[in-house]
Amino acid sequence: MLTGKNILLGISGGIAAYKTPHLVRLLKKSGADVQVMATDSALKFVSELSLATVSNRSVLTDIFTADTEGERTRHISLGEWADALVIAPATANTLAKLAGGLCDDMLSISLITLRPGKPVLLVPAMDGYMYDSPSVQRNLSVLKQQGCRVLEPESGPLASGQCGLGRMPEPETIFEALAEMLAAPEPSALSGKTVVVTAGPTREKIDGVRYLSNYSSGKMGFAIAAEAARRGATVHLVSGPVTLPTPPGVQRHDAESAVEMLEAARPLFADCDLFIGAAAVADYRPETPVEGKIKKHDAEMELRLVRNPDILAEFSTNRKPGQLAVGFALETAGGIDYARRKLTDKKLDLVAFNIYDGTTSGFEVDTNVLTLLDRDGAITELPLLSKEEAAERLLDAIELLLPR
309 is in an annotated binding site: yes
Question: pLDDT tens digits for 155-207?
Answer: 877 777 777 777 899 999 999 999 988 886 677 899 999 999 999 999 999 99
335, 302 Cβ separation under 8 angstroms:
no
Question: In CATH, which of 3.30.70.260, 2.120.10.30, 3.40.50.300, 3.40.50.1950 is domain 6-182?
Answer: 3.40.50.1950
- Which of 77, 71, 73, 86 is closest to 34 using CA atoms? 86
| Strands (DSSP E) found in 256-332 | 274-277, 284-286, 305-307, 324-331
328 is in an annotated binding site: yes
346 is in an annotated binding site: yes
Confidence check: pLDDT of 36 > 80:
yes
Confidence check: pLDDT of 74 > 50:
yes
pLDDT band for position 90 (50/70/90)? Answer: very high
Beta bridge partners of 190: none
Average the pLDDT over 46-69 and give the result: 84
Comparing 299 with 391, the larger pLDDT belongs to 391
310 is in an annotated binding site: yes
Residues with catalytic roles: 214
Question: pLDDT tens digits for 302-323?
Answer: 899 999 999 999 999 999 999 9
264, 252 Cβ separation under 8 angstroms:
no
Distance CA 274, CA 192 (A): 12
Question: pLDDT tens digits for 211-259?
Answer: 999 999 999 999 999 999 988 899 999 999 998 888 888 999 999 999 9
Amino acid at 146: Q
Amino acid at 346: K
pTM of the model: 0.63
Cis peptide before 89 (omega within 30 of 0): yes
Residues of the chain with CATH 3.40.50.10300: 194-399
30, 3 Cβ separation under 8 angstroms:
yes
pLDDT band for position 115 (50/70/90)? Answer: confident
CATH 3.40.50.10300 describes domain 194-399: yes
67 is in an annotated binding site: no
Distance CA 359, CA 369 (A): 11
21, 198 Cβ separation under 8 angstroms:
no
Residues of the chain with CATH 3.40.50.1950: 6-182
How many Cα atoms occupy the beta-carbon half-sphere of 346 within 13 Å? 27
**Average per-residue pLDDT for the chain:** 91
In this structure, of 89-93, 203-207, 230-234, 262-266, the range with the lowest mean pLDDT score is 230-234
285, 257 Cβ separation under 8 angstroms:
yes
357 is in an annotated binding site: no
| Strands (DSSP E) found in 274-316 | 274-277, 284-286, 305-307
Average the pLDDT over 348-353 and give the result: 96
Amino acid at 131: Y
pLDDT band for position 63 (50/70/90)? Answer: confident
In this structure, of 65-69, 286-290, 360-364, the range with the lowest mean pLDDT score is 65-69
Confidence check: pLDDT of 67 > 50:
no
Question: pLDDT tens digits for 320-343?
Answer: 999 999 999 998 877 788 899 999
Average the pLDDT over 349-366 and give the result: 87
Report which secondary-structure segment, H or E, holds 37.
strand 33-38
Percent of the chain with pLDDT over 90: 71
Exposed/middle/buried for residue 388 (C-beta within 10 Å: 0-12, 13-18, 19+): middle
